[in-house]
Amino acid sequence: MYLKNLLDQDKMLITAWSGSASPEMAGLMAACPFDTVTIDMQHGAHSESTAFASVRGIVAANKPAILRIPVGRNDLASRGLDMGFEAVIAPMINSVADARAFGRAMKYPPLGERSWGPTKALQVYSDFTPARYFAEANARTVSLAMIETREAFAVLDEILETDGIDGIFVGPSDLSISWFNGAGVDPHNAELQDVIAEIGGRARAAGKHAAIFAVDPADVPRFASMGYRLAALNTDPGLMQAGAAVMLGKARG
Ligand code: 3PY
Ligand code: MG
């Protein structure tokens, strides 16, 4: 099922987060009971070739593929869609101009300026003819603007109204750094939870998707109660460490 349709079901979706530059690992995560897999090109080790090579394995597992681009790389947003990613997360969207530039790269006219060339997407989704892809792409592709600074929070409503922006994705770690002016990384800070709740509520009130990164599994139900409907659950190294701790603990009694 397409991500857009999964999001329309209005239940909390959980995405795996692939930072290791390995299409095999991304495919393995897609085979786990996650709802989607996100390939991270901002802080993850993925190159363009490992990111693009990951799509087929994710789609083969019948899961939507999501891409996080590096800061300001809107060229990779449209290219990622061309390669078959259904959604793109853009970090550090701190102004309406940032949001507008991201939205333009994600949507064909009249909403944006995306250029035609979804060759790989048309192969991956064999139910699409070029005409049908063009007709449906603007409604089906999902653009998520990362809200992770005070500057972004100050213009949240304007970002939510920007053409081509389908929703927001909160980065609680960067938001904590910005909110407390560099005092530390504190994504679980109590004051910050009120800010995160307000962002989720305002996104939903504007009719937009609310997504967020969860460091701990216990964060996910709390974020769901704030209106979020897509959460990333830590990272592939994090899963490995948590799994190793459980298995080694049992093995060593
Ligand atoms: C953040 O918490 O700042 C993120 O970008 C999560 O990946
Ligand atoms: Mg961040």
The answer to whether the complex's ipTM is over 0.85 is yes
User: Residues 212-238: pLDDT tens digits?
Assistant: 999 999 999 999 999 999 999 999 999
Q: Is the peptide bond before 130 cis (omega within 30 degrees of 0)?
A: no
- Residue 95: Cβ within 10 Å count: 16
35 lies in a domain? yes
Specify whether the CB–CB gap between 178 and 150 falls below 8 A.
Answer: yes
pLDDT, residue 214, reads 98
96 lies in a domain? yes
pLDDT, residue 202, reads 98
Where does residue 87 fall: left (phi above 0), alpha (psi -120 to 50 degrees), or beta otherwise? beta
Instruction: Please list, in sequence order, all residues whose beta carbon lies within 8 angstroms of the beta carbon of residue 165, skipping any fewer than 6 positions away.
Output: 99, 102, 103, 143, 145, 159, 208
CATH number of the domain to which 176 belongs: 3.20.20.60
Percentage of the residues of the chain whose pLDDT score is greater than 90: 98
Amino acid at 68: R
57 lies in a domain? yes
Residue nearest to atom 4 of ligand 1 (CA): 171
Considering every ligand atom, which ligand is closest to the CA of 219?
A: 1
From the list 107, 99, 218, 118, the residue with the least C-alpha distance to 161 is 99
pLDDT, residue 84, reads 97
15 three-class SS: strand
Specify whether the CB–CB gap between 18 and 25 falls below 8 A.
Answer: yes
Write out the residue range of the structural domain in which residue 50 sits. Answer: 3-248
- Residue 16: Cβ within 10 Å count: 26
User: Residues 76-114: pLDDT tens digits?
Assistant: 999 999 999 999 999 999 999 999 999 999 999 999 999
Amino acid at 247: M
Quickly tell me which residue has 């799994």 as its tokens: 243
Ligand 1 atom nearest to CA at 175: 3
Considering every ligand atom, which ligand is closest to the CA of 235?
A: 1
Dihedral of the alpha carbons of 242, 9, 149, 42, in degrees to the nearest 10: 60
DSSP state of 114: P
CA of 176 to the centre of ligand 2 (A): 10
21 lies in a domain? yes
pLDDT, residue 190, reads 97
Q: Which residues line ligand 1 (CB under 6 A)?
A: 91, 148, 171-174, 213
Q: In this model, does residue 1 exceed pLDDT 90?
A: no
How much is the pTM?
0.98
234 lies in a domain? yes
198 lies in a domain? yes
Distance CA 171, CA 145 (A): 10
253 lies in a domain? no
CA of 34 to the centre of ligand 2 (A): 21
- Residue 251: Cβ within 10 Å count: 8
From the list 2, 42, 29, 168, the residue with the least C-alpha distance to 94 is 168
| Domains identified in the chain, total number | 1
Q: In this model, does residue 126 exceed pLDDT 90?
A: no
94 lies in a domain? yes
Report which secondary-structure segment, H or E, holds 248.
helix 236-251
**Mean pLDDT confidence for 132-153:** 98
